[in-house]
Amino acid sequence: MPTSGRAVADLHQLSGHLDSSGQSRTVVFGETVTAICERHAPLDDVVLPGFIDLQVNGAYGIDVMSASIEDVLRLSYALAREGTTSWLPTVITAPLETIERCDAMIAAAMTRQREAAQSPSDARKLSGATILGMHLEGPFISPRHLGAHPPLQRLPHGEALARMLALKTLRLITLAPELDGALGAIRQFVARGVTVSLGHSDATCDEALAAVAVGARMFTHLFNAMRPLHHREPGIVGAALTPSPAAAAIIPDRVHIHPAMFALVRAARTVGQTLVASDCVALAGVQPDAELPMFGDASRRVQVREGAARFPDGALAGGVVTMLEGLRLTVNDPVFGGGLDPFGYAQMAAEGPARVLGLADRGAVALGKRADLILLDRALNLKAVFVDGHEID
C-alpha cells in the first residue's frame, strides 16, 4: 500500500467508530490515511477528523493582533492539544497598516511552520495545528453592526481594497455585502482564491443573496452583529437560512446562539451546510478571573462573564469555548444539540470548513486524506491528536 514516502514501520493505527453505523474500524496512516480496515473486536473510542477552526482571535493568553511569531506558533501547539489541527488566525477591523503588520507576522509564522515540517519528527510534533492563513474580519463592515470592532470601517474599493487584495496570507474575509462596491470586491477576492464570508452586516435578504450569487460562500457567526430576522424583510439571516452554496457558521457556546436558533439553523440548512467556529479570544483557556487587553489594543480590556468574553459594559467580545468544548456542549444534548452525535459535529467542525476553504486534502477520515486525526473515548475525552500523521505530545 502507498505510504506517502514513510517507511512501513512509521505507520500508525487508530481504532474506533468512524461513523454512526456502530461498527468499529481501524485506520492505518502515515502522513495520509492509507487503509481503513474492519475490526471484529468492538471499541467505544471515536476517531474523528481534526477540527478546522475558521475564526481564532486568540487563546491561552495570546492575542493574535498583538502576537509575535513565537506566540502564534505556541498558540498553534496549544490548539492542537485541544483537537484543532488547522486554523485561521483572525484579525479584526484596524488601521490598514496594522492589518498589514499582522499579515507579515502570520506569513513568517507559516514559513517557520513549513520549515518545521521538514525537520526531524520530534521537532515536527511541536509545530501544532497547521496555520492556513488569515481570516480578515473587516474592515469592510457595516457601521450599524460593529460588534467588538472599533469604528474604523472602510468601503471596499480604491486604495483600501487594493491593499487588502495584496495581503500575502489572506484566506478568508468577512465583509458586509450591502456596502458600495462590495459585489465587485467579492468577485476580486474570489478570483484571487480568497473565500468570502458575509457578516457584520445590515444587508437585506436580496443583497445577501446577490453576494452569494457572485461567490460568497459563508455567513460569519450567524445572528451575531447582523440585521435580525424579520418576517417581512428576512435580512441577511433569512439569506443564511435559505438553501444556497454558502454555509452558515455558528459559535457553539450556548451564549452567542440560543438552542432554539441552533435547531432552526440545522433544520433549515442541514448539518452539511452548517459550520461551527470558536471565535475564541485570548481569554479562552486562562483562569476565569483574568482580564486581558484584546485585539491589539491595550485600552480594550475584556473579562469572562456568563460564558463568554465581555467588555465592561457587558457587550460580547468573543468566545472562550474551544472546538472540543463545543463538541461536548453540543453532542447528545437534547436541547442544544438535538441529539447530534460526534460524527455530525465533525461534519460542522472539519468537513464543512474544509469545503468552504476549498481544501480537498483534509476534513474527513478517508483514504488519501491528510492524517489530521483525533481519538476520543466514550466520554469525549481526548486521547490522541495527529497532525499530518505526527502525534502531538
* 137 within 8 A of 196, measured Cβ to Cβ: no
User: In terms of Cα–Cα distance, which of 29, 22, 12 is closest to 43?
Assistant: 22
Q: How far is CA 208 from CA 110, 211, 313, in A?
A: 33, 5, 31
* 220 within 8 A of 249, measured Cβ to Cβ: yes
Residue 139: asked if its preceding bond is cis (omega within 30°), the reply is: yes
288: left (phi over 0), alpha (psi -120 to 50) or beta: alpha
User: In terms of Cα–Cα distance, which of 31, 73, 74, 79 is closest to 54?
Assistant: 79
Q: Is 130 helix (H, G, I), strand (E, B) or coil?
A: strand
CA–CA separation, 202 and 185 (whole Å): 17
Residue 329 exposed, middle or buried by CB count within 10 Å (0-12, 13-18, 19+):
middle
Question: Parallel, antiparallel, or unpaired for β 58-59 and 130-131?
Answer: unpaired
CA–CA separation, 204 and 226 (whole Å): 10
CA–CA separation, 64 and 106 (whole Å): 9
Q: Where in the sequence numbering do the catalytic residues fall? A: 279
Give, as one character, the DSSP assignment of residue 351: I
Rounded to an integer, what is the distance from CA 290 to the centroid of its chain? Answer: 24
* 138 within 8 A of 146, measured Cβ to Cβ: no
Q: Give 119's contacts (C-beta < 8 A, 6+ positions apart).
A: none
DSSP codes of every residue in 335-383: TTTTT--HHHHHIIIIIHHHHHTT-TTSSS--TTSB--EEEE-TT--EE
CA–CA separation, 104 and 390 (whole Å): 27
* 374 within 8 A of 356, measured Cβ to Cβ: no
